[in-house]
């Protein structure tokens, strides 16, 4: 179902209201997390990165910083698993690192539910079918997040994202939000086996060249 008409208006209204109320409700958590990140990394607690949104339009996503900038002798950043701090690991496992994105929702750049916004450099790597994930606003959580999260392959995640685009409804959003809460409590699918974070996406058929 296309996101249009009164259903889209309701989705936008719920998103903005929930984001505003959520930011107020979790303000103490945000403040505590910010202090912990500052202490553990010695840097500004918030991490900003350009991500593609609806229609591929780029916006600045905000989340808590969970890694240091540690680099090897060659000056290249160390692997993610070597740079994630203990505080960052906890923030990721509890999904607290995603809470600042309520600000992106309040600004209309994201929704509570939708395909997760990935890296800008991935845009030319999608197949035409996979690129359809950008037909809707990206979300803090999504259909893929309640069906395996980072434990899924990229192809599985993209297939679930496109399924969401084709089958979206307000009821589905409510089910995804409920499923997300359950996943967070269980801490399921935080990372893919053998990786601290999701590995790079180089394209469905390709590999790094």
Task: Find the mean pLDDT for residues 175-190.
Answer: 82
Please give the residue range of the domain that contains residue 60: 5-186
pLDDT at 205 over 80: no
Indicate the length of the chain as a whole number. Answer: 209
- Encode pLDDT of 96-151 as tens digits: 999 999 999 999 999 999 999 999 999 999 999 999 999 999 999 999 999 887 78
DSSP state of 96: G
- β-partners of residue 61 are 49
Q: Is residue 82 part of a domain?
A: yes
Q: Is residue 128 part of a domain?
A: yes
pLDDT at 190 over 80: no
Contact indicator for 174, 113 with CB cutoff of 8 Å:
no
Q: Is residue 207 part of a domain?
A: no
Residue 92 CA to residue 97 CA, distance in Å, equals 6
pLDDT tier, 16 (very low <50, low <70, confident <90, very high otherwise) = very high
Q: Is residue 192 part of a domain?
A: no
Contact indicator for 43, 87 with CB cutoff of 8 Å:
no
User: Residue 100: its pLDDT value, please?
Assistant: 97
Q: Is residue 19 part of a domain?
A: yes
Q: Is residue 108 part of a domain?
A: yes
- Encode pLDDT of 27-65 as tens digits: 999 999 999 999 998 899 999 999 999 999 999 999 999
User: Residue 173: its pLDDT value, please?
Assistant: 97
Looking at the 3D structure of the chain, how many domains does it have?
1
User: Residue 209: its pLDDT value, please?
Assistant: 38
- Closest by CA position to 99, among listed 108, 91, 90, 107: 91
CA distances from 173 to 10, 35, 65 (A): 12, 33, 28
Q: Is residue 204 part of a domain?
A: no
User: In this predicted structure, which of 25-34, 65-74, 153-162 has the lowest mean pLDDT?
Assistant: 65-74
Q: What is the average pLDDT score of the chain?
A: 90
pLDDT tier, 175 (very low <50, low <70, confident <90, very high otherwise) = very high
User: Residue 188: its pLDDT value, please?
Assistant: 65
Q: Is residue 33 part of a domain?
A: yes
Could you give the percent of the chain with pLDDT greater than 70? 92
């Amino acid at each position: 179902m296309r996101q249009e008409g009164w259903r889209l208006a309701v989705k936008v209204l719920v998103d903005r209201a929930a984001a505003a109320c959520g930011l107020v409700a979790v303000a103490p958590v945000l403040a505590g997390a910010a202090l912990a990140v500052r202490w553990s990394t010695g840097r500004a607690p918030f991490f900003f990165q350009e991500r593609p949104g609806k229609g591929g339009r780029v916006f600045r996503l905000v989340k808590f910083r969970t890694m240091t900038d540690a680099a090897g002798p060659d000056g290249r950043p160390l692997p993610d698993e070597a740079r994630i701090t203990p505080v960052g690991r906890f923030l990721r496992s509890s999904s607290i690192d995603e809470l600042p994105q309520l600000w992106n929702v309040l600004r209309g750049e994201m929704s509570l539910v939708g395909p997760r916004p990935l890296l800008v450099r991935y845009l030319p790597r999608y197949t035409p079918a996979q690129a359809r994930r950008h037909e809707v606003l990206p979300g803090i959580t999504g259909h893929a997040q309640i069906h395996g999260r980072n434990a899924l392959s990229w192809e599985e995640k993209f297939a679930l994202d496109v399924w969401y685009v084709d089958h979206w409804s307000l009821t589905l959003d409510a089910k995804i939000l409920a499923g997300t809460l359950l996943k967070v409590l269980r801490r399921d699918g935080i990372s893919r086996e053998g990786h601290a974070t999701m590995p790079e996406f180089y394209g469905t058929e390709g590999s790094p060249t």
